[in-house]
Structure 1
Amino acid sequence: MNERVLTPRNRGFLFLDSHPAGCRQVVTDMWRACPAPAAVPQDPGPVALVIGSSAGYGLAATLAGLKRAGIRGIAVSFEKAPTERRTATAGWYRTAATADLARSAGRDLVFLNGDAFSDAMKDQVADLIEQRFGGRLDYLVYSVAAPRRTDPDTGTTYASVLRPIGRPNRTKTLVFDDRGAPEVREVETGPAGGDDVEQTVAVMGGADWERWIDHLAGRGLLAEGFATAALSYIGSPLTAAIYRQGTIGAAKAHLEATARTLDQRLGKTVGGRAVTSVNGAAVTQSSTAIPGIALYTGLLRGVLGEGLVPPVHQLAGLWDQLTGAAPSVQDEEGRIRLDTWELADDVQAAVAERWEAATTGTIAGLADLDWFRAEVRRLYGFSVPGVDYTAPVATDVPWPAPGS
């Protein structure tokens, strides 16, 4: 086993290595934090497919599905293996830990590592459902955030961008210097040009989600009453110009339009349904790349404290609505809203007041910086309570075997 002492090395919010023991503890902590169901899930449990299962809300969906709904089935992600020089990605280690939890819970969950956009992965998943899980899929949760996608039909590779539409956007953002000191800066992002919007929609919109449904339906694998949800975000007016009204927002709008199309189709063919689930803010590897989001999330935590709802709690609520354990509550656009705690008028007013007052000199009293810094480090397995970072740790953790 390749054992060594790991210390965090980072460039801004991007860390070069991940800590296996820390990532394992993060998963364990999420599992413990997930509310237990009112009744013990049935055995053997519904068959589910989670696409994008190793990080952020996709990881929360996997863990909450296991604990809250007793799912079995398949989890798909795209992670890098360890090498002699570098650790694996954090999602690799989180997946190994999730597999152990699934096994201890007596749930048959197979973890696949590869390109979810490819037809080869869709074929592999369909074969597994057919051969291992009785040929019927009950649920599909789609949670994919990627910088690029290759269209299997044309071979064209599309790249997503984070840009406002129509005009430049100038916003405050939060950064930390090499010593960890916070700084509030103003940054300007130029507007989308050329085919930026179309490219971003092609990557982050609903095309691949719909292709998954078409592929599985074409193989006759959707169970009667099949339900699917794609995870989304709306966010605050403070970040709307770069997010909801920007290129990513155009992709989210396409995702929601796809949900309405799929919902009609599934209702007619298998008595099923399709929804988007709008989640609340969280510190994720994707969100830290968006200008302004780090500042906003730190301020939101400063306002709400422990009232900020963690992803695994939100996704427990989604599974309750998908399985019928709780009534399905949707807005006028047909979206399940798990973000109402964040977008409450009083919360947004308090965050907006702090946003206006935020400078490098005042930020420490307005945002929960200790929490935010620790959350970023925990994405890579560092700053996790209960982990001895002075001890050597094995980095060549194997990908979970599918079992018997």
Structure 2
Amino acid sequence: MSERVVKPVGRGFLFLDSHPAGCARVVRDLAAAVVPPIVEPCVPEESPVVLVIGSSSGYGLATTIAGLTAFDVKGIGIAFEKDATARRTATAGWYRTAETAKLADELGRDFTFVNADAFADTTKTEVLDLIAERFGKIDHLIYSVAAPRRTDPRTGETYQSALKTIGAPYTTKSLAYDGTEPQLTEVTVDPATDDDLAQTVKVMGGEDWARWVAALQERDLMSEYFNTVALTYIGSDLTSAIYRQGSIGAAKADLEQTALTLTKEGIRAYTSVNGAAVTQASSAIPGIGLYTSLLHKTLGDTMQTPIQQSVSLWNQLTGATPKDLDEDNRIRLDRWELTPETQAEVRAAWQSATQETLTEVADTAWFFTEIRRLYGFDVPGVDYEAEVEVNVPWPAK
């Protein structure tokens, strides 16, 4: 046993420790927010078999919880998380996965979690062996990987993603905090080199997704209903110079091209364009935090959560509702964000945002709380003065 009081210690949007009880409560709150679809529940023999790559955080976590709670899914989730040490707690994703496994058990779902590098061929072999032994074939592959680097197991080369523009430097407004006080800052992002772009595409593009699909195909592990989706984001033109039109955008374009290539090869493959949300990956991108806080101020409770969008995604993947596809064959879960009326209001708030008006035009308090919730802090119902066990085991297979 290793119990102690866990406090938020970190810098900016990064925390060194995570709160086990807070992370567990986040999982339960997400599950409680799931509104089941209006479809007949699956009987166990007919439960969809899914593989979620990147199941411990963000939209990957929401998709996993929505699938378990409302669609009776069974299968495997893959995450790459760190256990507690003598000095530090485990990562937030470790604790969230442990609680998601408990949720799956309570719901009677046969769901296994693997802690491993999804880019590695050894991980693919291990996971495909589990699929073959326990489930036979799979129906859905969800790809939701956000990683800063990738080592290609076939060449041994390690690639590092870059957060840069294309063509010229770009300066944007951005949100930061001095303690708990919001600060409006300016951040200049430098242009990417050709090598920066190539490496970012290697990390965040579609190559690894295609390798997972190929591995499943080679071992005949796809059911007749098989489809696959990679989760992505487009966002507003307010953030496009750094996001969609920058180095990350080049990788996202590669991801979308991979979907089109797989489709031509006879695989039902899509990218799913999700709406804005506060995630560990997005919070590090200049301008995204400010934009998201402005969006929440504009929409309030009508801003769709990752759980709401994930239920919609499962409805479309399982055929309960028609797919909402755009002209590029992408599933659109973000139309609520990009309406002309919403974007006009957010744009006006962005232009009027100053240090003096910041808390009036942006929901900075909400954003600050959401960032802390990513690590299990500021979660209602959790006693942060009490000691808590930090050595939580990874769920048994």
TM-score range, shorter chain: over 0.9
Aligned residue number for residue 42 of structure 1: 43
Aligned residue number for residue 207 of structure 2: 207
Match of 1:372 among 354, 367, 376: 367
Point out where structure 2 has 5 or more consecutive residues left out of the alignment: none
Are 1:399 and 2:386 counterparts?
Answer: no
Please give the alpha-carbon distance, in whole angstroms, between the structure 1 residues aligned to 2:11 and 2:250: 29
| Aligned length in residues | 395
Match of 2:273 among 268, 278, 290: 278
Please give the alpha-carbon distance, in whole angstroms, between the structure 2 residues aligned to 1:182 and 1:374: 12
- Give the C-alpha shift of residue 376 in structure 1: 0.3
Deviates more, 1:67-76 or 1:110-119: 67-76
Note the 1:147-162 alignment, pairs <5 A: 147-162=148-163
- Give the C-alpha shift of residue 6 in structure 1: 1.0
* Cα deviation code 1:40-92 (max 9, x no counterpart): 23314111000000000000010111122211010000000011211000000
- Give the C-alpha shift of residue 20 in structure 1: 0.3
Quote the sequence identity (%): 58
Aligned residue number for residue 57 of structure 2: 55
Please give the alpha-carbon distance, in whole angstroms, between the structure 1 residues aligned to 2:17 and 2:3: 14
Aligned residue number for residue 67 of structure 2: 65
Are 1:383 and 2:386 counterparts?
Answer: no
Please give the alpha-carbon distance, in whole angstroms, between the structure 2 residues aligned to 1:194 and 1:281: 28
Please give the alpha-carbon distance, in whole angstroms, between the structure 1 residues aligned to 2:352 and 2:82: 41
Please give the alpha-carbon distance, in whole angstroms, between the structure 2 residues aligned to 1:52 and 1:203: 14
* Cα deviation code 1:80-111 (max 9, x no counterpart): 00112110000000000000000011001000
Aligned residue number for residue 316 of structure 1: 311
Aligned residue number for residue 16 of structure 1: 16
Decide whether the 8 Å contact of 1:41 with 1:68 is kept in 2: no
TM-score, length-scaled by structure 1: 0.97
Note the 1:331-370 alignment, pairs <5 A: 331-370=326-365
Aligned residue number for residue 31 of structure 1: 31
- Give the C-alpha shift of residue 256 in structure 1: 0.5
Please give the alpha-carbon distance, in whole angstroms, between the structure 2 residues aligned to 1:153 and 1:90: 30
Aligned residue number for residue 119 of structure 1: 121
Are 1:291 and 2:286 counterparts?
Answer: yes
Please give the alpha-carbon distance, in whole angstroms, between the structure 2 residues aligned to 1:362 and 1:276: 37
- Give the C-alpha shift of residue 225 in structure 1: 2.0
Decide whether the 8 Å contact of 1:200 with 1:251 is kept in 2: yes
The secondary structure found in structure 2 opposite 1:359 is coil
- Give the C-alpha shift of residue 328 in structure 1: 1.2
The AA in structure 2 aligned to 1:95 is: T
Please give the alpha-carbon distance, in whole angstroms, between the structure 2 residues aligned to 1:89 and 1:105: 25
Please give the alpha-carbon distance, in whole angstroms, between the structure 1 residues aligned to 2:125 and 2:260: 25
The secondary structure found in structure 1 opposite 2:105 is helix
- Give the C-alpha shift of residue 7 in structure 1: 1.1
CA RMSD of aligned residues (A): 0.8
Please give the alpha-carbon distance, in whole angstroms, between the structure 2 residues aligned to 1:377 and 1:356: 27
Aligned residue number for residue 77 of structure 1: 79
Decide whether the 8 Å contact of 1:37 with 1:67 is kept in 2: no
Please give the alpha-carbon distance, in whole angstroms, between the structure 2 residues aligned to 1:146 and 1:300: 26
Please give the alpha-carbon distance, in whole angstroms, between the structure 2 residues aligned to 1:113 and 1:261: 29
The secondary structure found in structure 2 opposite 1:242 is coil
The secondary structure found in structure 2 opposite 1:171 is strand
Please give the alpha-carbon distance, in whole angstroms, between the structure 2 residues aligned to 1:167 and 1:34: 43
Report runs of 4+ in structure 1 exceeding 4 Å deviation.
none
Please give the alpha-carbon distance, in whole angstroms, between the structure 2 residues aligned to 1:23 and 1:86: 15
